[in-house]
Amino acid sequence: MNEKNLRELLSRFRAGEVSEDQAVATLKNISLTAVEDLGFASIDHQRELRQGFPEVVYAAGKTKEQLRAILRSLYERSGGNLIATRASLEQYEFVRAELPMMSYDPTARMIYLDRDSTVERDEERMILVVSAGTSDMPVAEEARLTAHLWGNHVKTCYDCGVAGIHRLLNHLDDIQKANVLIVVAGMEGALASVVGGLTARPVIAVPTSVGYGASFHGLAALLAMLNSCASGVAVVNIDNGFGAGVMASKINSVRN
């Protein structure tokens, strides 16, 4: 049950197509079946109704069988798009044998189902994903695909790090048109401050674990972004492209 289904139920009740008893029974079932216990996982089937998107699965550390069972449950009980993050090709091939409608993005490392492939996305409320280097692309693509599956119009500017600042300035028009920006960078993480100084819109900075020894697997970029001198820059966890994509989507949905 999602918000669209709930509105349809209430509309049918007002039109007399559904009796009061039928409507009450349906609403009771929503509450009674909110959580499905699979033994190894408890599936939150009310997540879509509360937050507008079904529960997202973190695939790393799960067996192929566990992941398949969780996605099967979500597919059967939800009406929205589905996501499993940090998934391997081996996991996907196992899942696809039973759920052939699922797709896989090897760069983003995501198994997903895009039920809204024909939805019209508002180009005036564009989310722009900017990455410093090619090595940052897996995290940037995780953010891009997440925001896309949340129903946003998303554009990208990749390999635009501060070591060649002219590459970034070539995308100044998109930077200033974007409604929300996601900036993905490792090494010293300076790109977030530079982009933050070029736009009046919110910037979500994503530090990556890309870099040599003193980068401390992304800690240097994280601290640099947290200490950004540019106003309006917020930071998510190291390599958390998914979290940035969700936050950008939520900001985008409430901005005028």
CA distance 185 to 9: 46
- Nearest one of 208, 205, 219, 209 to 247, comparing CA atoms: 205
Query: Which stretches of the chain are assigned E, i.e. beta strand?
Result: 35-37, 42-44, 57-58, 82-85, 103-105, 110-113, 127-131, 154-157, 180-185, 203-207, 233-235
pLDDT band at 57 (very low <50, low <70, confident <90, very high): very high
pLDDT of residue 236: 97
What is the bridge-based pairing of β-strands 57-58 and 42-44?
A: unpaired
pLDDT of residue 2: 62
129-156 per-position pLDDT tens digit: 999 999 999 999 999 999 999 989 999 9
Are 245 and 236 in contact by the 8 Å Cβ rule? The answer is no
Which of 23-27, 62-66, 216-220, 232-236 shows the lowest per-residue confidence on average (mean pLDDT)?
Answer: 23-27
Report helix, strand or coil for 42.
Answer: strand
Which comes out higher in pLDDT, residue 101 or 256? 101
pLDDT of residue 33: 57
pLDDT of residue 254: 80
CA–CA distances in Å: residue 79 to residues 45, 181, 253: 11, 28, 20
154-210 per-position pLDDT tens digit: 999 999 999 899 999 999 999 999 999 999 999 999 999 999 999 999 999 999 999
Residue 186: which H helix or E strand, with range?
none
Q: Provide, rounded to the nearest whole percent, the portion of the chain with pLDDT above 70.
A: 93
pLDDT of residue 32: 52
CA–CA distances in Å: residue 182 to residues 38, 52, 159, 253: 36, 21, 14, 15
Question: Does position 117 have pLDDT exceeding 80, yes or no?
Answer: no
What is the bridge-based pairing of β-strands 57-58 and 82-85?
A: parallel
Are 92 and 66 in contact by the 8 Å Cβ rule? The answer is no
- Locate the domains of the chain by residue range: 37-113, 123-254
Q: What is the chain's mean pLDDT, rounded? A: 89
69-96 per-position pLDDT tens digit: 999 999 988 778 899 999 999 999 999 9
pLDDT of residue 3: 64
Question: Does position 255 have pLDDT exceeding 60, yes or no?
Answer: no
pLDDT of residue 20: 83
- The CATH T-level fold of domain 123-254 is Rossmann fold (3.40.50)
Question: Does position 6 have pLDDT exceeding 90, yes or no?
Answer: no
